[in-house]
Amino acid sequence: MHTDAEIDHLEELLGNLQVMLDAMCVSELDGYVAGLLLCPDMIMPSEWLPEVWGLEDEPEFEGMAQAQETIGAVMAHYNRVAQNLSNRTKPYEIVLDPAEGDDQPLWEFWVGGFEQAMRLRPKAWLQYMNAGDNKIEAAFSVICGLIEMEREDSSLPTARQDQLREHACDLIPNMVVIMNDWIKEQSPIPMAENPNWLAAANMNADPARSTKVGRNDSCTCGSGRKYKKCCGAN
């Protein structure tokens, strides 16, 4: 799915955003992307990319080269996850931060990123709760339970929390696959209504390659400015 080199490169690029103190780490971004892809509503990059930088205003890149490379790496990660969920020739895997010692990897960052995607369209996720399918509703409940635990706001019994915590690293990808398989069976959004490079995992088609951004189009970094006056400036 992802090579070590791709993850290391993405980690380096996100780590270089020193002026953006709330920028996501790779694990958080991975959970965020999964949430975007499983959301029943399509969310455009102009809306979700600013969340990656942790800013409400225009992102502060050091220059055009850094902006293009970083945005390109984020979108490449998005497309790899979408590809893996749309056509799973390999097992779906999530990116987790390693923990010190012999502890299991940290799943909390991933879950935090997934929740951030849910916050963009909170009502849309009711579709999972009202699926009328015990397996789907249970999978969504597990994700929600982990989110509440990450927020330290869980009402689950301690024994259940301990169980979820122990198996979180295995549960998360399994629950994502269950939810993804179900949402793909729902009425897909026609490809013509979406940019070619934004085919989501819940569509009955593989994600297409990125298309060239027109100079008069909105910049994909989420600044709201035209591409030619932002990341595409000469």
How far is the C-alpha of 204 from the C-alpha of 190, rounded, in Å? 9
Mean per-residue pLDDT over the chain, rounded = 82
Q: Span 84-90, mean pLDDT?
A: 82
| More reliable by pLDDT, 62 or 229 | 62
Confidence of residue 163 (pLDDT cuts 50, 70, 90): very high
Q: What is the pLDDT of residue 112?
A: 96
Q: What is the pLDDT of residue 214?
A: 58
Say yes or no to pLDDT of 89 above 70: yes
Q: What is the pLDDT of residue 2?
A: 85
Q: Span 188-211, mean pLDDT?
A: 43
Candidates 225, 203, 205, 204; CA nearest to 216 is 225
Q: Span 162-184, mean pLDDT?
A: 94
Q: What is the pLDDT of residue 104?
A: 79
Q: What is the pLDDT of residue 90?
A: 81
Candidates 20, 85, 81, 38; CA nearest to 222 is 20
Q: Each residue of 17-42: pLDDT tens digit?
A: 765 677 899 999 999 999 999 999 99
Say yes or no to pLDDT of 175 above 60: yes
Q: Span 89-99, mean pLDDT?
A: 87
**Of 24-33, 80-89, 114-123, which gets the smallest average pLDDT?**
80-89
Say yes or no to pLDDT of 218 above 70: no
* % pLDDT > 70, the chain: 75
Domain boundaries, the chain: 4-202
Give yes or no for a contact between 187 and 199, defined as CB atoms under 8 angstroms apart.
no
Q: Which of the listed CATH numbers 1.20.120.740, 1.20.120.1760, 2.40.30.10, 3.40.50.150 matches domain 4-202?
A: 1.20.120.740
Say yes or no to pLDDT of 203 above 90: no
Cα radius of gyration (the chain): 18
**Of 21-35, 49-63, 139-153, 165-179, which gets the smallest average pLDDT?**
49-63
Q: What is the pLDDT of residue 188?
A: 53
Is the pTM here over 0.75, yes or no? yes
Give yes or no for a contact between 86 and 102, defined as CB atoms under 8 angstroms apart.
no
Say yes or no to pLDDT of 205 above 50: no
| More reliable by pLDDT, 39 or 196 | 39
